[in-house]
């Protein structure tokens, strides 16, 4: 029977409650029964602060102790030599990691938290999302096997505390703490596509963290760590996107992404002004790819104007929605296509064309291979 994190969730809650309920009630700002104030600086405020700190520390420790068992160090070999390393975690009977961690690798070995090593196979990869799935290398049905991690249903709100697990610089078992500092970010992907819906965090992320889990204090995975952009700015592939892609990597070894077949740019105030748009929202269609899904359905720019030394396209459609979903930004468009659609699906697209709202129907295609 598979081990999961459900039992831990109740335990983590108990740790948090036991760590703060008693002290908080004892030092709360209650009135003196005799009608006199307690002396200032009598220590109540400091005790309360300490109780909160101890509660948080206990929660971090409980999550770290439980989750670390499910995190592995991923070592890649080429021609018998070490060629790279990263991290991964157990999920759905496999190990989830980044595609860039295993790309080009001939042999993959996994080191578990108990120090044991196992050789693994690459089960599936998807460069467009930077996700990969490996075999676990060991029998996970044993009672003593590490438990699997579960994914959150939706990305946590900004400000939610998270822990990043992995092996930065090869230092296995490392944990850093931070918050969700941004949502729905876009990261570069092959062929000028984007990885949408990415989670931004200020938890320390370094080389070797790639593929490790970004975990909530409920011990659920909020994202798969994939990149860093300087100090205190790290990114993870969101759990909703991973939850959509990983099952296909396990089943088929690959994932097919929807393709709209247009080149777009954001609607800025300048673009809106030049094109007489009433609102600064939507996604401007610069070009429709010939023989693509949108060819003959959507219209690209027909001209341009120079404003402040910059060329601004004119005459193209502005995508403002799909079916019941409003599209305000490029990120909204990429996220909708990634999380809500499949190749060969026919959808209604709402555009602003020559000042009028028009609805067209088109059938999505499939992206070409990333490599």
pLDDT at 46: 58
pLDDT at 91 over 50: yes
pLDDT at 8 over 50: no
Percent of the chain with pLDDT over 90: 81
Answer whether residue 299 is part of any domain.
yes
Q: Quick one: average pLDDT of 67-82?
A: 95
Answer whether residue 122 is part of any domain.
no
pLDDT at 351 over 60: yes
Q: Is the same domain home to 181 and 275?
A: no
pLDDT at 34 over 60: no
Number of domains making up the chain: 3
Catalytic residue, chosen from 68, 136, 210, 258, is: 210
Q: Is the same domain home to 356 and 271?
A: yes
Q: Do 121 and 108 touch, CB atoms closer than 8 A?
A: yes
Catalytic residue, chosen from 68, 70, 94, 100, is: 100
Q: Is the same domain home to 236 and 275?
A: no
The verdict on whether 116 is a catalytic residue reads no
Spatial separation of the C-alpha atoms in residues 309 and 66, rounded to whole Å:
57
β-pairing, 258-259 vs 262-266, is unpaired
Residue of 283, 288, 284 whose CA lies nearest to 261? 288
Among candidate residues 213, 241, 269, the one where a domain is terminated: 241
pLDDT tens by residue, 111-129 = 999 999 999 999 999 999 9
Spatial separation of the C-alpha atoms in residues 326 and 161, rounded to whole Å:
29
The verdict on whether 304 is a catalytic residue reads no
pLDDT at 56: 77
Give the domain extent around 188: 161-241
pLDDT at 314 over 60: yes
Mean of all residue pLDDT scores within the chain: 88
Place of tokens 């097919």: 256
Place of tokens 């002290």: 23
pLDDT tens by residue, 173-197 = 999 999 999 999 999 999 999 999 9
Least confident of 18-27, 85-94, 241-250, 301-310: 18-27
The verdict on whether 100 is a catalytic residue reads yes
- Would the CA dihedral through 170, 205, 69, 65 be positive or negative? positive
Among candidate residues 211, 241, 271, the one where a domain is terminated: 241
Percent of the chain with pLDDT over 70: 85
Spatial separation of the C-alpha atoms in residues 133 and 237, rounded to whole Å:
14
Catalytic residue, chosen from 126, 130, 317, 332, is: 130
Spatial separation of the C-alpha atoms in residues 19 and 29, rounded to whole Å:
19
């Amino acid at each position: 029977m598979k081990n999961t994190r459900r039992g831990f969730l109740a335990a983590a809650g108990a740790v948090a409650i036991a760590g703060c309920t008693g002290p908080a009630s004892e030092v709360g700002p209650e009135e003196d029964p005799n009608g006199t104030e307690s002396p200032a600086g009598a220590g109540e405020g400091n005790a309360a602060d300490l109780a909160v700190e101890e509660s948080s520390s206990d929660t971090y420790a409980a999550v770290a102790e439980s989750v670390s068992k499910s995190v592995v160090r991923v070592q890649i070999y080429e021609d018998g030599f070490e060629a790279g390393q990263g991290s991964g975690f157990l999920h759905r009977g496999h190990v989830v990691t980044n595609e860039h961690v295993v790309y080009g690798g001939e042999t993959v070995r996994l080191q578990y938290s108990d120090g044991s090593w196992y050789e693994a196979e690459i089960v599936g990869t998807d460069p467009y999302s930077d996700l990969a799935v490996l075999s676990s290398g060991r029998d996970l049905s044993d009672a003593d096997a590490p438990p699997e991690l579960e994914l959150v249903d939706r990305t946590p709100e900004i400000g939610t505390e998270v822990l990043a697990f992995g092996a930065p610089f090869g230092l296995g078992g490392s944990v850093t703490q931070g918050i969700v500092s941004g949502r729905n970010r876009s990261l570069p992907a092959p062929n000028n596509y984007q990885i949408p819906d990415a989670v931004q965090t200020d938890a320390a992320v370094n080389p070797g963290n790639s593929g490790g889990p970004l975990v909530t204090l409920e011990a659920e995975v909020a994202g798969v760590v994939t990149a860093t952009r300087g100090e205190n700015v790290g990114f993870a592939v969101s759990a909703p996107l991973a939850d959509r892609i990983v099952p296909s990597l396990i089943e088929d070894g690959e994932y097919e992404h929807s393709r709209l077949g247009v080149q777009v740019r954001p609607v800025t105030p300048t673009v809106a002004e030049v094109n007489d748009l009433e609102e600064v929202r939507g996604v401007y269609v610069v070009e429709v790819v010939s023989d693509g899904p949108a060819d003959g359905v959507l219209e690209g720019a027909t001209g341009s104007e120079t404003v402040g030394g910059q060329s601004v396209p004119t005459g193209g459609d502005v995508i403002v929605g799909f079916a019941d979903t409003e599209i305000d930004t490029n990120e909204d468009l990429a996220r909708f296509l990634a999380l809500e659609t499949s190749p060969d699906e026919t959808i209604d697209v709402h555009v602003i064309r020559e000042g009028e709202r028009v609805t067209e129907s088109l059938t999505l295609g499939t992206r070409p291979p990333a490599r």
